[in-house]
Amino acid sequence: MNKISHIKRYQISKVYRRDNPGRGRYREFYQCDFDIAGHYDPLLPDAECLKIMYEILSELELGGFLIKVNDRRLLYGILATCGVPDDKFRTVSTVIDKMDKISWDKVRREMIEEKDLSPEIVDRLGEYIRLNGGLAVLEHLCNDSLVSQNTMAMEALSDLKLLHSYLEIFGVADKVTFDLGLARGLDYYTGVIYEAVLLRGPEEPHNVPDNDTDKIAGFGSIAAGGRYDDLVGMFDSKGRKVPCVGISIGIERILSMAERKAEESFKNIRTTETQVLVASAQPHYLEERMRLITALWSSGIKAEMLHKKNPKLLSQLQYCEKTGIPLVAIIGEQELRDGVVKLRDVTTREEVNIPREDLIKEIQKRTS
Amino acid sequence: MNKISHIKRYQISKVYRRDNPGRGRYREFYQCDFDIAGHYDPLLPDAECLKIMYEILSELELGGFLIKVNDRRLLYGILATCGVPDDKFRTVSTVIDKMDKISWDKVRREMIEEKDLSPEIVDRLGEYIRLNGGLAVLEHLCNDSLVSQNTMAMEALSDLKLLHSYLEIFGVADKVTFDLGLARGLDYYTGVIYEAVLLRGPEEPHNVPDNDTDKIAGFGSIAAGGRYDDLVGMFDSKGRKVPCVGISIGIERILSMAERKAEESFKNIRTTETQVLVASAQPHYLEERMRLITALWSSGIKAEMLHKKNPKLLSQLQYCEKTGIPLVAIIGEQELRDGVVKLRDVTTREEVNIPREDLIKEIQKRTS
């Protein structure tokens, strides 16, 4: 155990999970994480996490999204209030977690038949956990005769109201909805929890049956997180607590969505940052290509050449089309004699002879 | 096994090794890798790898460095030529690998006493494996009466000469030396191998005893790589070969060296990209700080604030000094009334009132 008690960090890297995920999900996958660890004033790190989640999802231009927010303490307070026994909190939460995938009727039946809750308890619970909305939902619960008697739930509600005020200042409250049915599977959360979902565009099939959240697309969550104040302390020999809050962005899911979108619009995905391919139409110009690429590299131009002594012009052009390289710098006998480079635009196929000394500027201009 | 037969990629990530490393080295560590896989014309990918190694080490400004180059086939050819039995190639190579750490006398003794080679064989071997230098060394070996009879060694020498001509075009031959004693521990290399070492500055202690490479600093290698044409095929069910060449940059070693350098020059290492800390000298300005930071963030300014409701000015300034944040944007009653922000330069402690509408431009100007 290291002695780090304060850190704010991000990581885009592989993560590993122990469970048995289904449907094209794996135990090893890439994830983009942002976490803040340390003792700070309440809800400030939480608000920053949600701000960052909002910014990332906005800039990725994936379409409309919604960030559902709840608090573990509020959920457990409501479970207690409705008469669910303590030892069933976890198992009942996993059923609640399915509410965005299956209908309330099915969730209700599972609670009664498989979790042995009485229909009265389940129906009372249903009145709460199907609530969602803005600040008004929090106010409604604060004034609820049952909930207002539960200390844990009231603490959570007070925190959520403070969080909401911070999110308003940060300009991200418009996409945040308090969703009392959000449970989040992971056991380690201790406070605020959240989950971002994409909203269904008008053209997409309606595959979430009878549900308040019927505008939510069937992708599942694309980002999620929450507060986990006890996790780090579990690994400290002296049990010192390091409160934490963090978000994870489901980068693989987002990439596969972006890929699908690009395919739908018949666009080639650019798989490279390379600005120019150094090519030749004639054989025996390997060394000249190497000289030119050395000059381009030393000016910071992102250039490539095929690792062939005498590649065909066609294969060089096809390589650009396949990978999305926008320009080709072509040299041959004539160009070398004239001190020029033939610069070809891969999309328009237009070719212009550029004096060798102007080439770098021209490539920078065209690719800026 | 995937079906990728051509790929050029880099990765900065954790890697894992099975052995038991000593001296502050771990089985899990960060490494920066660049590899080219696929069938290409000879030595072109190899030359690009060495070019990239050269560029990275130059740009990191670690001081003088040398890239030692050898070829597994040349080493084994020489071992055969000198009369080392086939079944001792690997074990003798591991002793050769120590030549940059211990003296030739000790290497010689280990070969005779522990590897059971005759003194004649070892002395003959010593004449070859202690050779190093430029193109002349390759020419010398090509004309050697013993080496020139070994097909494998001659293939390697012809490849190394071609590689040298490519490295000259790429402008990186000046830091490359052919070192016949470079063995590289890993079994999977099949052709060209290389290793970069830092050169000792005049002020550093001389801790490599009697050795041709007495200008080499005692850091060990900071980057290394080579060709491994058989490794991928081992994992393919049909045994299809994917020839590969790659480099690894020892990023942890480089970071710890950079850290040491910074400590020696009493410089604070800047551990953050943050340009400005949004601060207040008075209590009760949390919401104003949040409003200001929201504006800065939305203009792309890298800004931070302490996650405290009422932090002391001193702790806010100390935070900047510790992490290397260069600017502080301070607001309080007076500044808000006047529509200004007090911009403080952390190093000079100079403070200027900037009209709020000019703040973003001013920060961009000062941190560009």
Nearest CA in chain A to B308: A41
What does residue B318 show for φ and ψ, rounded to 5 degrees? -60, -35
Of B140, B141, B19, nearest to B81 (Cα)?
B141
- State the sign of the Cα–Cα–Cα–Cα dihedral A281, A284, A288, A293: positive
B307/A169 touch (CB, cutoff 8 Å), yes or no: no
Selecting from A40, A44, A294 the residue whose C-beta is nearest the C-beta of B170 gives A294
> Are A70 and A183 in contact, with CB atoms under 8 Å apart?
yes
Whole-angstrom distance, CA of residue B141 vs CA of residue B164:
15
Nearest CA in chain A to B59: A298
**Mean pLDDT score, A329-337:** 96
N- to C-terminal Cα distance for chain A? 47
pLDDT at B266: 63
Q: How confident is the model at residue A269 (pLDDT cuts 50, 70, 90)?
A: low
Question: How far B48 CA sits from the closest chain A CA (Å)?
Answer: 9
What are the b/e assignments for B302-319, b being 16+ CB within 10 Å? ebbbbbeeebeeeebbeb
Predicted confidence (pLDDT) at residue B207 exceeds the cutoff of 60: no
Of A80, A83, A96, A85, nearest to A129 (Cα)?
A96
B297/A55 touch (CB, cutoff 8 Å), yes or no: yes
**Mean pLDDT score, B263-268:** 70
A307/B45 touch (CB, cutoff 8 Å), yes or no: yes
B308/A44 touch (CB, cutoff 8 Å), yes or no: yes
B171/A294 touch (CB, cutoff 8 Å), yes or no: yes
Predicted confidence (pLDDT) at residue B66 exceeds the cutoff of 50: yes
Predicted confidence (pLDDT) at residue A216 exceeds the cutoff of 70: no
User: What is the spatial order of strands in the sheet that B351-355 belongs to?
Assistant: B303-304, B276-280, B327-331, B340-345, B351-355
Maximum mean pLDDT: which of A20-34, A228-242, A314-328, B180-194: A314-328
DSSP of B40-97:
-STTHHHHHHHHHHHHHHHHTT-S-EEEEEEEHHHHHHHHHHTT--GGGHHHHHHHHG
Angle between helices B359-367 and B286-298 (to 10 degrees): 60
Token code pair at residue A344: 């070809």
Question: How far A172 CA sits from the closest chain B CA (Å)?
Answer: 10
pLDDT at A62: 85
* Residue showing tokens 């009760």: B284
Per DSSP, the three-state class of A17 is coil
Burial class (CB in 10 A: 0-12, 13-18, 19+), B301: buried
Maximum mean pLDDT: which of A252-266, B74-88, B235-249: B74-88
> Are B363 and B276 in contact, with CB atoms under 8 Å apart?
yes
Beta strands in A139-269 (DSSP E): 176-179, 192-199, 216-227, 244-249
Predicted confidence (pLDDT) at residue B114 exceeds the cutoff of 70: yes
Amino acid of residue A31: Q
For A156-203, how does the pLDDT look when each residue is reduced to its tens digit (9 = 90+)? 999 999 999 999 999 999 999 999 999 987 788 999 999 999 987 654
Predicted confidence (pLDDT) at residue A205 exceeds the cutoff of 60: no
| Helices marked H in A32-187 | 44-59, 72-81, 89-96, 104-113, 119-129, 135-142, 151-169
B311-A3-A240 Cα angle (round to 5): 80
B171/A298 touch (CB, cutoff 8 Å), yes or no: yes
Nearest CA in chain A to B165: A287
Q: How confident is the model at residue A218 (pLDDT cuts 50, 70, 90)?
A: low
Q: Which range (A23-37, A206-220, A333-347, B91-105) has the least confidence?
A: A206-220
A246-A251-A252 Cα angle (round to 5): 140
**Mean pLDDT score, A308-317:** 96
For B290-339, how does the pLDDT look when each residue is reduced to its tens digit (9 = 90+)? 999 999 999 999 999 999 999 999 999 999 999 899 999 999 999 999 99
What are the b/e assignments for A113-152, b being 16+ CB within 10 Å? eeeebeeebbebbbebbbbbeeeebbeebeebebbeebeb
Known binding residue B35? Answer is yes
Of A261, A184, A250, nearest to A223 (Cα)?
A250
| B124 sits in which H/E element | helix B119-129
Question: How far A317 CA sits from the closest chain B CA (Å)?
Answer: 17
pLDDT at A217: 59
Q: How confident is the model at residue B206 (pLDDT cuts 50, 70, 90)?
A: very low
| Helices marked H in A237-285 | 251-264
- Mean pLDDT, chain B, rounded, equals 90
Amino acid of residue B76: Y
Q: Which residue has the higher pLDDT, A93 or A187?
A: A93
Residues from chain A that touch B308, judged by Cβ atoms under 8 A, are 40-41, 44
Residues from chain B that touch A40, judged by Cβ atoms under 8 A, are 307-308
A307/B169 touch (CB, cutoff 8 Å), yes or no: no
Whole-angstrom distance, CA of residue B138 vs CA of residue B70:
10
Token code pair at residue B368: 């560009």
Q: Which residues contact B70 (CB under 8 A, 6 or more apart)?
A: B178, B179, B180, B181, B182, B183, B184, B192, B193, B194
Whole-angstrom distance, CA of residue B366 vs CA of residue B368:
6
B40/A13 touch (CB, cutoff 8 Å), yes or no: no
Whole-angstrom distance, CA of residue B240 vs CA of residue B243:
10
Spell out the domains of chain A, with CATH numbers in brackets: 7-264 (3.30.930.10), 276-367 (3.40.50.800)
Nearest CA in chain A to B43: A307
pLDDT at B208: 40
> Are B100 and B211 in contact, with CB atoms under 8 Å apart?
yes
A314-A315-A321 Cα angle (round to 5): 90
- Counted across chains A and B, CB pairs separated by less than 8 A come out at 50
Q: How confident is the model at residue B257 (pLDDT cuts 50, 70, 90)?
A: confident
Selecting from B166, B297, B308 the residue whose C-beta is nearest the C-beta of A41 gives B308
Q: How confident is the model at residue A224 (pLDDT cuts 50, 70, 90)?
A: very high
Which of B43, B287, B297, B307 to mutate: most A Cβ within 10 Å?
B307
Known binding residue B17? Answer is yes
Q: How confident is the model at residue A219 (pLDDT cuts 50, 70, 90)?
A: low
Q: Which range (A5-19, A50-64, B133-147) has the least confidence?
A: A5-19
* Residue showing tokens 């060089």: A316
Whole-angstrom distance, CA of residue B274 vs CA of residue B303:
6
Whole-angstrom distance, CA of residue A359 vs CA of residue A337:
16
Whole-angstrom distance, CA of residue B296 vs CA of residue B354:
14
- In terms of phi and psi (left: phi > 0; alpha: psi -120 to 50; beta: otherwise), the region of B63 is left
A309/B36 touch (CB, cutoff 8 Å), yes or no: no
Whole-angstrom distance, CA of residue B237 vs CA of residue B298:
53
Q: Which range (A9-18, A164-173, B336-345, B347-356) has the least confidence?
A: A9-18
Distance from chain centroid for Cα A150: 35
> Are A352 and A343 in contact, with CB atoms under 8 Å apart?
yes
Parallel, antiparallel, or unpaired for β A7-16 and A28-37? antiparallel
Per DSSP, the three-state class of B20 is coil
Angle between helices B72-81 and B151-169 (to 10 degrees): 150
Question: How far A297 CA sits from the closest chain B CA (Å)?
Answer: 10
pLDDT at B259: 80
B254-B257-B259 Cα angle (round to 5): 110
Known binding residue B128? Answer is no
Burial class (CB in 10 A: 0-12, 13-18, 19+), B218: middle
Known binding residue A194? Answer is no
**Mean pLDDT score, B45-64:** 94
Q: What percent of chain B has pLDDT over 70?
A: 93
Q: What percent of chain A has pLDDT over 90?
A: 73
Predicted confidence (pLDDT) at residue B154 exceeds the cutoff of 70: yes
* Residue showing tokens 């790898």: B49
Please enumerate residues of A whose Cβ is less than 8 A from a Cβ of B.
13-14, 36, 38, 40-41, 44-45, 48, 51, 55, 166, 169-171, 287, 290-291, 294, 297-298, 307-309
Q: How confident is the model at residue A208 (pLDDT cuts 50, 70, 90)?
A: very low
Predicted confidence (pLDDT) at residue B202 exceeds the cutoff of 70: no
Q: How confident is the model at residue B215 (pLDDT cuts 50, 70, 90)?
A: low
Amino acid of residue A13: S
Q: What percent of chain A has pLDDT over 70?
A: 93
Token code pair at residue A92: 């009942």
pLDDT at A364: 95
Known binding residue B230? Answer is no
Token code pair at residue B67: 């890239």
Nearest CA in chain B to A162: B287
